[in-house]
């Protein structure tokens, strides 16, 4: 892992001025990021039958994607979509809440977001993080340390709650990024994913979907007639359609690979 990072750094140094200019150009071209409204809600199962189990409590934490950038309300975003899927598939009422902030890093979640969570119990924690660490070119060793700190802080606050980390963001597919940025930032976030896959192994009930998100393959996978560019609201953040598909994909991962929904 360190060898890959060092090789990437050696390639990055002569390209740094170009990457800086490209980053500034991308930043100027994007609209101002607006986080989604209504960060909590209750999802009802689409059935006339009265749910037999108590409400399922879902907490979602993370950076701008979990903050719902790209849609107006969280009901259209990942958290609301995931909550509705759980409600429909498990025939349970889902009480869901979002704790997220655009620009957050792993350390930011640990020190600024986790302490603000007033809930003491939950049935599932979903965390989406990684893009901002990559944008800042954090070393994989720092990422690993910060993610261990985050996992430990969550486990301390929620000793028995399953923790599920979302896929790494598909930076190589961001339409707003020039090829050079896709290459360097995309490769770094892939290293982060490999680190995350290893560091969670000692923990019980901590999961990570390591499958790469590939929007260019989604039209065929989901039977859609869609231009891959429509999967992004601003060239970086997901559209409402993408949030829905991502939630479905992650639900299928959890349902097939974890015992979370078997109780």
Residue 84's domain comprises 2-262
Alpha helices in 48-178, H assignment, sequence order = 78-90, 106-108, 131-135, 140-157
Residue 160: CB atoms within 10 A of its CB come to: 10
Closest CA to 61 of 101, 23, 103, 10: 101
pLDDT tens digit sequence for 128-177: 999 999 999 899 999 999 999 999 999 999 999 999 999 999 999 888 88
pLDDT tens digit sequence for 14-59: 566 666 566 667 666 666 778 999 999 999 998 767 777 899 999 9
Q: What is the mean pLDDT of residues 211-236?
A: 83
Q: Which helix (H) or strand (E) holds 242?
A: helix 240-257
Number of domains within the chain: 1
Q: What is the mean pLDDT of residues 49-70?
A: 92
Residue 1 has pLDDT above 60, yes or no: no
Confidence band of 180 (pLDDT split at 50, 70, 90)? confident
pTM: 0.91
Confidence band of 223 (pLDDT split at 50, 70, 90)? confident
CATH number of the domain that residue 241 is part of: 3.40.50.1110
């Amino acid at each position: 892992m360190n060898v890959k990072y060092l090789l990437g750094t050696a390639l990055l140094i002569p390209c740094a001025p170009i990457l800086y200019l490209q980053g500034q150009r991308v930043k100027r071209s994007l609209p101002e990021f607006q986080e989604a409204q209504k960060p909590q809600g209750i999802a009802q199962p689409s059935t006339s039958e009265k749910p037999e189990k108590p409400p399922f409590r879902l907490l979602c934490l993370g950076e701008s994607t979990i903050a719902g950038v790209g849609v107006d309300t969280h009901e259209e975003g990942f958290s609301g979509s995931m909550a509705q899927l759980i409600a429909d598939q498990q025939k349970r009422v889902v009480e869901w809440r979002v704790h997220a902030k655009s620009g957050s890093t792993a350390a930011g979640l640990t020190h600024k977001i986790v302490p603000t969570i007033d809930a003491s119990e939950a049935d599932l924690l979903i965390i989406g993080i990684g893009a901002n660490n990559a944008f800042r070119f954090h070393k994989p060793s720092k990422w690993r340390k910060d993610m261990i700190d985050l996992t430990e802080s969550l486990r301390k606050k929620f000793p028995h709650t399953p923790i599920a980390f979302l896929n790494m963001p598909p930076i190589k597919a961001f339409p707003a990024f020039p090829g050079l940025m896709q290459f360097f930032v995309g490769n770094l976030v892939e290293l982060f994913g490999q680190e995350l896959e290893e560091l969670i192994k000692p923990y019980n009930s901590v999961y990570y979907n390591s499958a790469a998100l590939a929007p260019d393959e989604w039209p065929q996978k989901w039977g859609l007639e869609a231009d891959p560019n429509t999967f992004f609201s601003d060239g970086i953040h997901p559209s409402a359609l993408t949030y829905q598909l991502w939630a479905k994909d992650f639900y299928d991962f959890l349902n097939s690979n974890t015992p979370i929904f078997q109780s």
